[in-house]
Amino acid sequence: MKQTSRRKLRTVFDELFKEHGPQRWWPGETAFEIMVGAVLTQNTAWSNVEKAIGNLVAKGRLDPAAIMAARNDHLAGWLRPSGYFNVKAVRLKNFCRWYLQAGGFEQLDREETDKLRRSLLAVNGVGRETADDILLYAFNRPVFVIDAYTRRLFARLGLFAGDEDYDVMRRAIEQVLGPDVPLFNEYHALIVRHARESCRVRPRCAGCVLARGCPSVQ
């Protein structure tokens, strides 16, 4: 794995923040809504998740007990805009069952971060990225989220190879930057914004704020 300095990572953040400004992530009125969004956003655009969450709100079902009480076909129908709605209905119920059995937010928030992460990962349908989204944005824990956008951007900038194991890359970034929830929150949001607009699969290097120091400029 490549050695990445704090100065390099902070420079990327500073340039992205200067270009895009604060992203105000993660959208959600409550911690539970943020968790639901993290489960539903797998393999779909956020705009579709918002529609699904809107359906839950309209039906008075944006509540773990109400979701558990809903018929599976009804829940799947409300989640239809998020795609893979039958699978996501099962996953969301799995998550809500765990959440309720664990005692809800206040009880879970007392857990040490590593223990809470292991507990999340034991829920069927919750992978490492989803767990870390929940830890960072719902529980305000200093966990850096690694997604495809992060791998693409940091690999093109020469900061990482891009094919590191998820947790190897996550821990390396956390160690270099130090535990900083506001920084991790904003950094991940800015990476997503920039990767969608400029650092796409087919990059739009012209006008990219990071182009000057990027070895992959085309």
- Rounded to whole angstroms, the Cα distance separating 62 from 55 reads 9
- Exposure of 10 by Cβ count < 10 A (0-12 exposed, 13-18 middle, 19+ buried)? middle
List domains and CATH numbers for the chain.
6-24+144-213 (1.10.1670.10), 31-137 (1.10.340.30)
pLDDT given for residue 1 in this prediction: 54
How far is Cα 190 from Cα 199, in angstroms, rounded to an integer? 12
SS3 207: coil
Tokens of residue 65, six digits: 């007990």
The conformation of residue 117, written as its DSSP 8-state character, comes to: H
pLDDT at 218: 73
Place of tokens 């009804």: 74
Angle at which helices 128-137 and 166-177 cross, to 10°: 30
HEC readout, 132-148: HHHHHHCCCCCCCCCCH
Asked if 105 and 32 count as a contact pair (C-beta separation under 8 A), the reply is yes
- Provide CB contacts within 8 A for 54, sequence distance 6+: none
- Where are the strands (E) in 4-118, listed by range? none
Amino acid letter, 81: P
pLDDT tens, N- to C-terminus, the chain (218 residues)? 567 789 999 999 999 999 999 999 998 999 999 999 999 999 999 999 999 999 999 999 999 999 999 999 999 999 999 999 999 999 999 999 999 999 999 999 999 999 999 999 999 999 999 999 999 999 999 999 999 999 999 999 999 999 999 999 999 999 999 999 999 999 999 999 999 999 999 999 998 999 999 999 97
Rounded distance between C-alpha atoms, residue 147 and residue 38, angstroms: 13
Give yes or no for a contact between 27 and 37, defined as CB atoms under 8 angstroms apart.
yes
pTM: 0.95
Predicted pLDDT of residue 4 = 76
